[in-house]
Amino acid sequence: MARDMGPVLKRCRSLGLEPAYLGIDKKSNRAVRQGKKLSEYGLQLREKQKAKFIYGVLEKPFRNLFARAKKMKTGTAGENLMTLLELRLDNVVFRLGFARTRKEARQIVDHKHVLVNGKTVNIPSYTVKAGDTIEIKEKYKNVQRYKDILEVTGGRTIPAWLEGNQETLSGVVKEIPTRDQIDVPVNEVFIVELYSK
């Protein structure tokens, strides 16, 4: 399985991102780099790299997701792309507070700790639907790892489109999120422009 193993804080600085968007609370000791003025293509590329980096998606799956977003009947391609990224199972596990970072959420899904509607799903890119129930398997609920995670994520606010229960380590997707419910600092219009060339 291919993964991005580069230094996270360094990448955050180069993309002008706050590490908090990745679930990392540490403030980097250097301010977010402003950098030199970018060309139009440079801006478009940076927005795509930001989205890929935040959600932990590599180029080919990201391109496939964009193709899927373009084919959707409702909404614009950019908004659909952000919604599809947000509905990935690893992201939903992160949003519900069952993991400190999206990378950890991906690992939890990979290790078959997650049930979707009572069935084990170990595919991080699995797209959840409205009404789906996501929970951690019963045998893992009392493991020290999840107690440590809940200590860190307990104060994190769960988005309005999700309903989570920290005691039972379960949650429900109430609705499909709209773009204004997704708090990721990515301008998806630039991504659409980049792929439309």
The domain 8-85+185-195 is classified under which CATH number: 4.10.95.10, 1.10.1050.10, 3.50.50.60, 3.10.350.10? Answer: 1.10.1050.10
Strand partners, 170: 135, 165
Would you kindly state where each structural domain of the chain is located, as residue ranges?
8-85+185-195, 88-173
**Of the candidate ranges 1-10, 57-66, 75-84, 158-167, the one whose mean pLDDT is the lowest:** 1-10
Closest CA to 174 of 133, 140, 121: 133
* pLDDT greater at residue 18 or residue 88: 88
Predicted confidence at residue 28, as pLDDT, reads 47
The Cα–Cα gap between 117 and 131 comes to 9
Confidence class of residue 25 from pLDDT cuts 50, 70 and 90?
low
Helix and strand tally (H, E) in the chain?
8, 5
pLDDT digits (tens, 9 = 90+) for 43-64: 999 999 999 999 999 999 999 9
Predicted confidence at residue 32, as pLDDT, reads 47
The Cα–Cα gap between 153 and 99 comes to 8
The Cα–Cα gap between 16 and 179 comes to 21
pLDDT digits (tens, 9 = 90+) for 92-137: 999 999 999 999 999 999 999 999 999 999 999 999 999 999 999 9
User: Does residue 31 surpass a pLDDT of 70?
Assistant: no
The answer to whether the CB of 188 falls within 8 A of the CB of 79 is: yes
Question: What stretch of H or E contains 89?
Answer: helix 89-95
**Mean predicted confidence (pLDDT) in 86-94:** 95
Q: Which tokens sit at 2?
A: 């291919």
Classify the phi-psi angles of 112: left when phi > 0, otherwise alpha if psi is within -120 to 50, otherwise beta.
left
Confidence class of residue 12 from pLDDT cuts 50, 70 and 90?
confident
Same fold? 8-85+185-195, 88-173: no
φ/ψ of residue 128, rounded to 5: -80, 160
The answer to whether the CB of 159 falls within 8 A of the CB of 95 is: yes
The answer to whether the CB of 55 falls within 8 A of the CB of 191 is: no
What pTM value is reported for the model? Answer: 0.85
The Cα–Cα gap between 166 and 5 comes to 30
* pLDDT greater at residue 16 or residue 107: 107
**Mean predicted confidence (pLDDT) in 24-38:** 60
| Architecture of domain 88-173 in this structure | Roll (3.10)
